[in-house]
Amino acid sequence: MSAAEGYADPIQAPGTDEREWRAWDGWDRMPDCALPTQGRVVVVAAHPDDEVLGAGGTLARLAATGVALTVVSVTDGEGSHPGSTRVTPDRLAELRAGELRDALRQLGAEQAEIVRLRLPDTGVARHEERLAGELAALLRGAALCLAPWTQDAHGDHEAAGRAALAACRAVSVPCRLYPVWLWHWARPGDPRVPWAQAARIALPPGVQARKRAAVDRFVTQIRPLGDAPQDAAVLPPDEVAHHLRAWEVVFG
């Protein structure tokens, strides 16, 4: 049983230790995911940092081969610290946009096009149909879409993933879904996870180093904004550790 089971909100519950994930023998049963070597890939993120946490190494690999990248920030992530004593939502939105640009530079993807759709943080599901339409327009002619996993236990992630899948079906673009919070609330071999649909993307050492540097750019998320409880880090070190492996996983 994972530490998160039995909680109404599994993201707020204690998470599964990364050492358990590293020791799992299930990784070797996952096939390798083939990546495009040309064309354009659209990367959808519910909040700035999701795309780097879940697929930053993949972005670095794609950029290194000359694949064009369009990174879509569905929200600006302005709701990550409600009630903060140090920063307003508007200021946080701009800080997070800057962190994303810096992170993409660390990944070698500074040429990526960034599209900010500015849907409300924590309210993506209310705009899912509109989002699907906007994504379909951005996806035309793309070789691949990477989007949040639709079972990630975060409402914005799941809505963004559903909208991306609908858009991809409309314009006949393949879609792969990357998890972010799965590694927190699930456990190795968890029956709630469709492991048979999972594929692995290997990250060579140089790519791992790029991803670590990129994750470090999200200061508003990995470090406290201040001393008050509402200014605590969203992603403490034990959570970040899930995203610093030598591989990434996608579904679909």
Q: What does each C-alpha distance from 134 to 17, 70, 114, 160 come to in angstroms? A: 38, 13, 14, 11
Residue 140 has a pLDDT of 97
CB contact burial 12-21 (16+ within 10 A = b; e otherwise): ebebbebeeb
Kindly state the average pLDDT of the residues 98-109.
98
pLDDT above 70 covers a percentage of the chain that reads: 97
Q: Which residues, 6+ apart, have CB-to-CB distance to 30 below 8 Å?
A: 195, 198, 199, 200, 249
Q: What does each C-alpha distance from 140 to 15, 171, 224 come to in angstroms? A: 38, 6, 40
Under DSSP, the state recorded for 79 is: T
Q: Is the pTM of this model over 0.85?
A: yes
Please tell me the least confidently modeled range out of 77-81, 106-110, 177-181: 77-81
Under DSSP, the state recorded for 200 is: E
Residue 41 and residue 69 in contact, taking contact as beta carbons nearer than 8 Å: yes
Kindly state the average pLDDT of the residues 160-182.
98
Residue 7 has a pLDDT of 67
Please provide the distance, in angstroms rounded to a whole number, between the alpha carbons at the two ends of the chain.
Answer: 26
Confidence category of residue 4, pLDDT binned at 50, 70, 90: low
Residue-wise pLDDT for 124-169, tens only, equals 999 999 999 999 999 999 999 999 999 999 999 999 999 999 999 9
